[in-house]
Copies of this chain bind each other. A is one copy, B any other.
Amino acid sequence: MAITIAVDCMGGDHGPRVTVPAALAAIQRHSDLSVILVGLEDQLRPLLKGDEGGRVAIRHASEVVAMDESPALALRSKKDSSMRVAINLVKSGEAQGCVSAGNTGALMAISRFVLKTLPGIDRPAICTTLPTVKGHVHVLDLGANVDSGPEHLLQFGIMGATLVAAVEHKERPTVGLLNIGEEEIKGNEVVKQAAELLRESGLNFVGNVEGDGVYMGDADVVVCDGFVGNVALKISEGLAQMLATFLRQEFKKNLFTKLAALAALPVLNAFKRRADHRRYNGACLLGLKGVVVKSHGSADPFAFGNAINVALETAANGVIERISERMAAIAAPQENV
């Protein structure tokens, strides 16, 4: 199935010099993929090589949303931003999905305004993949929703499970609720109520997952409030960075350790590849009437390419349609009452 992805080429810390090469590499990898490069045409055009075989188009957009710009302002005043034009292409059906490394808040605000949320979904959630000892896990929400209520956590569970079922062809993916374990009060009120809703939801709910269980692969999907999820994601980034710094420092200590590093280099590189967070770049904004994928702002071409892959797979596997059907099925019996 031929899929077209709109790429916001101006977003992110590095703009076109990352996004354009990543998009050109993506069409090499996927013969059924076309891309629409959105942004300042005079910056994009020179980066093309001319051998794209008709699968690359450029769509000029005269404005750029800054990384620190207020989402409300970006939404109101920049009607011709690369971000907005890319989302418009999804709305019009010219593209089946879009990718941006820009300002998360603006991407969320514009996506909601242009595409709207699916019936039954109160707010979209940010869903990403993380590695685990057993494979990987999908975690949501990662920061779009703070102060989520029980019903929101239920919606996250439904959306996450539907995504995994569609993209990974797992019949009944397991869903866990991020919670705290040993302490006096096990979890807060919202989590307790969410657990009840999830238990009755028909999902393959496996109960509470503690922080360490996320990376141990205790569930295929882990749901949490956006505040908690964002802290969990960022603290993981910080810890990984600190450990990498420690390891580097130890190997650089003296001549002997440098020789040891040389001997261990192939292994260290294999380890680095395996733990490489760039492989997990590309978070879905789930719950919208269209595929929108957020890349890390600092992504390099390899990382941004993975975000394009996520958009392609989400679109190709009809994730939006399946979430929509699922929500309709849930709503139906209640409407009959």
Chain B residues contacting A233 (CB-CB under 8 Å) are 211
A228 at the interface (CB under 8 A from B): yes
Instruction: Give the CA-CA distance A63 to B36 in the complex, in Å.
Output: 71
Contact: A216 with B241, CB < 8 Å?
yes
Interface 0/1 of A229-261, CB less than 8 Å to B: 011111111111111011100110100110111
Known: A228-B228, A237-B211. A274 touches B260 (CB 8 A): no
Report the minimal beta-carbon distance from A207 to chain B, rounded to whole angstroms: 16
**Contact surface of A with B, Cβ cutoff 8 Å:** 71, 103-105, 108-109, 131-133, 143-144, 146-147, 178, 180-185, 187-189, 191, 210-216, 224, 226-228, 230-243, 245-247, 250-251, 253, 256-257, 259-261, 263-264, 266-267, 270-271, 274-275, 297
Chain B residues contacting A213 (CB-CB under 8 Å) are 234, 238
Instruction: Give the CA-CA distance A237 to B243 in the complex, in Å.
Output: 12
Given B147, B184, B257, which contacts A267 in the complex, CB threshold below 8 Å?
A: B257
The secondary structure that dominates the A interface is helix
Chain B residues contacting A191 (CB-CB under 8 Å) are 227
Contact: A271 with B246, CB < 8 Å?
yes
Instruction: Give the CA-CA distance A210 to B71 in the complex, in Å.
Output: 20
Provide 5 A-B residue pairs closer than 8 Å at the C-beta atoms, listed in order of the A residue.
Answer: A180-B231, A188-B227, A210-B234, A213-B234, A215-B238
Chain B residues contacting A271 (CB-CB under 8 Å) are 246-247, 250
Chain B residues contacting A246 (CB-CB under 8 Å) are 271, 274-275
Chain B residues contacting A133 (CB-CB under 8 Å) are 241-242, 245
Given B144, B184, B267, which contacts A261 in the complex, CB threshold below 8 Å?
A: B267
Contact: A183 with B105, CB < 8 Å?
yes
Known: A132-B242, A250-B274, A271-B250. A236 touches B263 (CB 8 A): no
- Residue on B with the closest CB to A218? B238
